[in-house]
Amino acid sequence: MSYDRALTVFSPDGHLFQVEYAMNAVKRGSTVVGVRGKNVVVLAAEMKQAQELQNMRTVRKILTVDAHVALAFAGLQADARVLINKSRLQCQSHRLTVEDAPKVEWVARTIAETQQKYTARGGRRPFGIATVIAGHDMDGTPQLWQTDPSGNYSSWKATVTGRNSKSVRELLEEEYEAGMTETDSVRVACRALLETAERGAKGIEVAVLAHGKAMKMLDAETIEKVCTEIAEEDAADDTVASS
């Protein structure tokens, strides 16, 4: 029997190959980083080179799910569009039913449940994306969650998914500090992405989420300035180390 073609059939050693193939699609996707600071959450994503005549506004890796929640993804763009639209409708339904904004954990759990459903029914395939979800609860607590194609979800202080995630995660473990300010959080996110970004600062987009405020996308000049400062610091450290 071909276990890699049957979505709902386990292989003899307990694998669901279609789910693993979906995770491989995530590993081939652009790198996405999330960093939780003291009062903010920062999402940063690598942007690939657009076509000369393409409108970059229509190609985004960081999108809003609700007024206080944003999502970045790695993997298949079309799958992300469908999953994000489903998530937005579920958030609106929650507001109509409960008359209150959904918690970030609820949003993450809802997205993970949708992803899990597509691993357990025939005639479908898993979503080929992993998501990093950021936002604030009603009491102002910053939240950072991650989901994967299997439907698993978990909370993080700082996380990464996509291409070269292993090496970037090691850097985050070294650079992350509890209670970081917005400036420090943005710097750590940019430093992590510079490890893999093929286009350097030009290939990075960064979003900052603060409690009670709309998601703020940093402009190209601000990102370029932060990346230049990081490069100067690294050059100074190399000079000190070699002397």
pTM for the model stands at 0.91
Binning pLDDT at 50, 70 and 90, where does residue 57 land?
A: confident
Q: How far apart are CA 86 and CA 84, in angstroms?
A: 5
SS3 of residue 164 by DSSP: coil
Closest residue by Cα to residue 59 from 51, 68, 67, 70? 51
- In which residue are the tokens 């939780």 written? 36
Q: What is the pLDDT of residue 173?
A: 94
In terms of pLDDT, which residue wins out, 28 or 122?
28
Distance (Å, whole) CA 72 – CA 64: 9
DSSP 41-64: EEEEEE-PPPPTT--GGG--SEEE
Q: What is the mean pLDDT of residues 189-211?
A: 89
Q: Which of 11-15, 56-60, 174-178 has the highest mean pLDDT?
A: 174-178
Q: What is the mean pLDDT of residues 40-52?
A: 86
Local confidence band at 122 (pLDDT 50, 70, 90 cut-offs): confident
Among 120, 24, 30, 114, which residue's Cα sits nearest to residue 72? 30
Give the pLDDT band of residue 146 (cuts 50, 70, 90).
very high
**Tens-place pLDDT, residues 19-39:** 999 999 999 999 999 999 999
CA distances from 94 to 72, 91, 105, 146, 214 (A): 21, 5, 13, 21, 19
In this structure, the strands spanning 40-46 and 204-210 are antiparallel
Give CA separation, 79 vs 31, 73, 127, 229, in Å: 16, 10, 6, 36
Outline where DSSP puts E strands in the chain: 32-36, 40-46, 62-66, 69-75, 129-136, 142-147, 153-155, 158-161, 204-210, 216-217
Select from 136, 130, 81 the least CA-distant residue to 105: 136
Residue 48 pLDDT? 80
Q: What is the mean pLDDT of residues 134-157?
A: 95
Which comes out higher in pLDDT, residue 236 or 42?
Answer: 42
CB 191 within 8 A of CB 169: no
